[in-house]
Amino acid sequence: MPQFAKFEAIEVELLDLRDYPLPFFDEPNSPEGLKGNYANKTAKRWAKKIGLADAFIIITPEYNRGPSAVLKNALDYVYYEWNRKPVAFVSYAPGAAAGIRAVEQLRLSCIELQMAPIREAVHISYVLDTIDEDGKLLRGHYNERQKLHEWKIKYEENNKRDRLLFRPCETRMGVISRQVTALLFHRYATM
């Protein structure tokens, strides 16, 4: 993470949850009750890594008004290792909400884990229009919101014309909406 190289007093490590394929929590007791005695080998490795860190920046997408299940499971899998550590959030989503609701839920979970959530966060809205697949900011890029607006105008023009020939048909916009939603979901899900 070269962006942090200028901060010599800070050591930064990226933890990718794909490197810690935790099963959904299946221990015989709660993480607090286990007191670090996890049965799962990956959970032991995860707990050790979390225990070594002094603070966290959690980067999260928003799915269905919340964080991903994999992230929530990773938080829930250990307990004492998270205690008394500050946490900040960066969220992103393809719409205007920018992951705010996911962070809202994560803050509550982190408080329950006795972490110290930082009040400010970074929320990236319209991520598909903002950042490319390599994480670089887009400039002069294809804007899906603009295209959606163009489709809406085209629909309204067609609807006015069609009223002369047919009864008003609301399903046309429904079809367009489903196509746009499928396109956005596909691009969002494959990021």
Q: What is the pLDDT of residue 150?
A: 65
Tell me which residue of 143, 128, 119, 148 sits closest to 62, measured CA to CA: 128
Look up the CATH number of domain 2-125. 3.40.50.360
Q: What is the pLDDT of residue 36?
A: 86
Neighbours of 65 (CB within 10 A): 13
Q: What is the pLDDT of residue 114?
A: 96
Collapsed DSSP state (helix, strand, coil) of residue 117: strand
Q: What is the pTM of this model?
A: 0.67
Please, what's the b/e burial string for 153-169 (b: 16 or more CB within 10 A of its CB; e: otherwise)?
eebeeeeeeeeeeeeee
All structural domains of the chain with their residue ranges: 2-125, 144-189
Collapsed DSSP state (helix, strand, coil) of residue 124: strand
The answer to whether 92 touches 127, Cβ cutoff 8 Å, is yes
Q: How far apart are CA 85 and CA 105, in angstroms?
A: 18
Q: What is the pLDDT of residue 159?
A: 61
Residue spans of the chain under pLDDT 70 = 1-4, 138-156, 158-191
Q: How far apart are CA 57 and CA 121, in angstroms?
A: 10
